[in-house]
Amino acid sequence: MVHSKPSRHKLDWESKSHLMGILNVTPDSFYDGGKYSSLLQAEKRAIQMQEEGADIIDIGGVSTRPGSLPPGKGEETKRVIPVLEKIIKKISIPISIDTYRAEVAEKALNLGASMINDVTALRGDEKMAEVIAKHNAPIILMHMKGNPLTMQEKPHYEDVIREILKFFEERISFAVSHGIKENNILIDPGIGFGKRLEDNLKIIRELKKFKEFKKPIVIGVSRKSLIGKVLDLPPEERLLGTAASVTAAIMNGANVLRVHDVAEMSQVIRMTDAILRPKTEDKRPQTLN
């Protein structure tokens, strides 16, 4: 049985807003597909994100843009694992792996990855919960209606907040019943994953309602279509819309902001925190396994 190694990373989710830099090693992601597909490009970007203020780097080998089909397990492994091997000793911040496949997660955690970001909330692979529990690793449980191929085909909710709250209640219970520790669970309401524009805006507006679970809240709004729909802009022109959305998310309770533009959003997050949060130098950090 594999046990988690003592962690070198300590993060207190409540002491500040944490920036999760996106490192997509995919050819087809909606904004940066193909940009970091070579090992050298990925390594340079990871180091750059750390220097620009990222608290966590999230490596993903499967595009989850609307309408996308996932690659096979072998292809995902081929994309993600060599990048992790390349950067793990050159990066001093935690590395997250954006995957729903237990085999990919297992290999990554064995190599030193710190956490798993599962867009299926442990529904995509029946062995994932066992892997997370075995490694005592943090896990992000994300809400998604349907799957990336079909999720934006006329999604509908009677009450989007109530339905996502019910989803998290069930998924957190499932995770804990399968040996995952309560303090290793983060939740992500899944902006853009099977949501209409009005759903996405309401989630950000009413984010505080998700605080009832007493779990860190992860939000990914970076350059997403809700910004494009409001501002009528393509992905490459959505930086300011992202900044506004990140600020609103922090003001409404987000703990982790998942973004493409690390340098710019680091400034947005630091400024928003300076306004909203008291000094917390005396707080004791929690270990991120």
Closest CA to 135 of 286, 6, 1, 3: 3
- The CATH number of the domain holding residue 204 is 3.20.20.20
Look at residue 65 in the predicted model and tell me its pLDDT. Answer: 67
Q: Say if residue 3's pLDDT is above 90.
A: no
| Residue 11 lies inside a defined structural domain of this protein | no
| Residue 142 lies inside a defined structural domain of this protein | yes
Q: Say if residue 211's pLDDT is above 60.
A: yes
Ramachandran region of residue 208, left (φ > 0), alpha (ψ -120 to 50) or beta? alpha
| Residue 281 lies inside a defined structural domain of this protein | no
Please give the C-alpha separations between residue 133 and each of 1, 89, 154, in angstroms, as whole numbers: 11, 25, 36
Instruction: Tell me the average pLDDT across 158-178.
Output: 97
Domain count, the chain: 1
Please give the C-alpha separations between residue 52 and each of 36, 49, 223, 226, in angstroms, as whole numbers: 17, 5, 18, 26
Instruction: Tell me the average pLDDT across 90-117.
Output: 96
| Residue 99 lies inside a defined structural domain of this protein | yes
Give residues with Cβ within 8 angstroms of 246, minimum separation 6.
219, 221, 222, 254, 257, 259, 265, 268, 269, 272
d(C-alpha 258, C-alpha 186), whole Å: 13
Range of the domain at 115: 18-62+73-272
- Token pair belonging to 63: 């595009």
Look at residue 13 in the predicted model and tell me its pLDDT. Answer: 87
Ranking 33-37, 83-87, 194-198, 261-265 by mean pLDDT, the lowest is 33-37
Look at residue 35 in the predicted model and tell me its pLDDT. Answer: 60
* Residue the block writes with tokens 């759903």: 199
| Catalytic site residue from 171, 258, 283, 284 | 258
Q: Say if residue 153's pLDDT is above 80.
A: no
| Residue 9 lies inside a defined structural domain of this protein | no
| Residue 8 lies inside a defined structural domain of this protein | no
* Residue the block writes with tokens 């009528």: 232
| Catalytic site residue from 224, 270, 277, 279 | 224
Q: Where are the alpha helices (DSSP H) in the chain?
A: 39-52, 73-87, 102-111, 128-135, 160-177, 197-205, 225-231, 239-251, 262-276
> β-strand 218-219 against 256-259: which pairing, if any?
parallel
Q: Say if residue 289's pLDDT is above 60.
A: no
Mean of per-residue pLDDT scores for the chain = 89
Ramachandran region of residue 8, left (φ > 0), alpha (ψ -120 to 50) or beta? alpha
Look at residue 64 in the predicted model and tell me its pLDDT. Answer: 73
| Residue 283 lies inside a defined structural domain of this protein | no
123 counts as catalytic: no
Instruction: Tell me the average pLDDT across 222-230.
Output: 96
pLDDT for 70-100, tens place per residue? Answer: 777 888 999 999 999 999 999 999 999 999 9
Q: Identify which has the larger pLDDT, 202 or 152.
A: 202
The SS3 call for residue 26 is coil
pLDDT for 174-191, tens place per residue? Answer: 999 999 999 999 999 999
Phi, psi (degrees; rounded to nearest 5) at 72:
-70, 165
Look at residue 6 in the predicted model and tell me its pLDDT. Answer: 40
d(C-alpha 14, C-alpha 46), whole Å: 25
| Residue 6 lies inside a defined structural domain of this protein | no
238 counts as catalytic: no
Radius of gyration (Cα) for the chain, nearest Å? 17
